[in-house]
Homo-oligomer: A and B are copies of this chain.
């Protein structure tokens, strides 16, 4: 049977023979209501099937009990794991998470930020598309806390949580170089993405320290930070004559690395004997790949949890809040896809 009409606090009050204010008190501060009354009201709530109207609460409170999380790509396991950490922490505080997927497009990011603003969210966690500074400033002027995720704050005007991608790139490249490969390459994604640029910088640093010229690192750009992008680059690499093919490649993330790996196998180029491959993120599929992938591990869930905590802190504290920039250290995980030593 469809009823289609919501029962409001007023009807509960009438049914229980008390005032609206008392019902509200039962809901929000049950301890100040006499136990007899409280039970009567609770019985009415159950009987009528009353459900709070969140919109009305929000209107009164001025802010909604949600936070926004804007990521570059929900299909990337890195971000779903991150989202998981955010969700856990938000749940504890009784907040819901609105998950938004910007697809690395400014237009979609902008749309979602407007939506979140209209929803008067408690705050926004965002991995910004390059050049999102202005859009975020708009939000903040309004008093909505913003925490940058996996991205450092250029201005110190906000909190941020990030992993040291330069160090990560350095770790991966140092490891690759330790086997003494003749030629090395970096498979990049869109260079406007900070993570892509930082990891390259780290890789160059490792080159220099090992006595190579930084320009000896060949950079090959993949279309996107996904498996398809890696496959295309893999085809290119496979098509090179064995004599000029890199003996070690560092990929900007694991999805790309998996794409490259697949093309190598398909073309009977052995991993790691003929070519070493290192990825980045250490997503679950990296360990599960048939040639388990050497990768750089980021504390993904912890990243999400920390970001959420910073956001909640800022939202709660308002004026006394001190912005903080938290930086985690990545960790190299060596598996079979790279030559040892």
Contacts and interface: CB of A to CB of B under 8 A. Distances in A.
Contacts of A147: none
Contacts of A141: 1-3, 49
Interface stretch (A93-101, A164-172, A182-190, A245-253): A93-101
A113 to B, nearest CB: 10
Contacts of A99: 97-99
Interface in A96-133: 96-99, 101, 114-115, 117-120
Nearest to A234: B288
Nearest to A108: B91
A6 B142 contact: yes
Contact of A54 (B75, B119, B230): B119
A265 B289 CA distance: 9
Nearest to A69: B99
Question: Interface size for chain A: under 10, 10 to 19, 20 to 34, or 35 or more residues?
Answer: 35 or more
A81 B119 CA distance: 26
- Among A84, A230, A284, the one with the most B-chain Cβ atoms within 10 Å of its Cβ is A284
B80 A74 contact: yes
Contacts of A261: 288, 290
A223 to B, nearest CB: 15
Given A231-B288, A261-B290, A292-B262, A84 B62 contact: no
A138 B1 CA distance: 10
Contacts of A74: 80, 83-84
B96 A54 contact: no
Contacts of A49: 138, 141-142
A304 B108 CA distance: 19
A299 interface: no
Contacts of A117: 51
Contact of A80 (B3, B75, B118, B265): B75
Given A55-B55, A96-B115, A140 B2 contact: yes
Contacts of A226: 284
A73 to B, nearest CB: 9
A258 interface: yes
A4 B75 CA distance: 35
Interface string A184-221: 00000000000000000000000000000000000000
B96 A98 contact: yes
Contacts of A5: 143
A138 B3 CA distance: 11
A307 to B, nearest CB: 17
B265 A54 contact: no
Contacts of A4: 142-143, 318
A303 interface: no
Interface string A227-257: 1101100000000000000000000000000
A98 B101 contact: no
Contact of A55 (B2, B96, B120, B143): B120
Given A3-B142, A77-B77, 11 more contacts: A2-B143, A4-B142, A49-B138, A49-B142, A51-B118, A54-B64, A54-B119, A84-B101, A228-B284, A259-B288, A262-B287
8 contacts: A3-B143, A6-B120, A55-B58, A55-B119, A75-B284, A227-B287, A230-B288, A265-B290
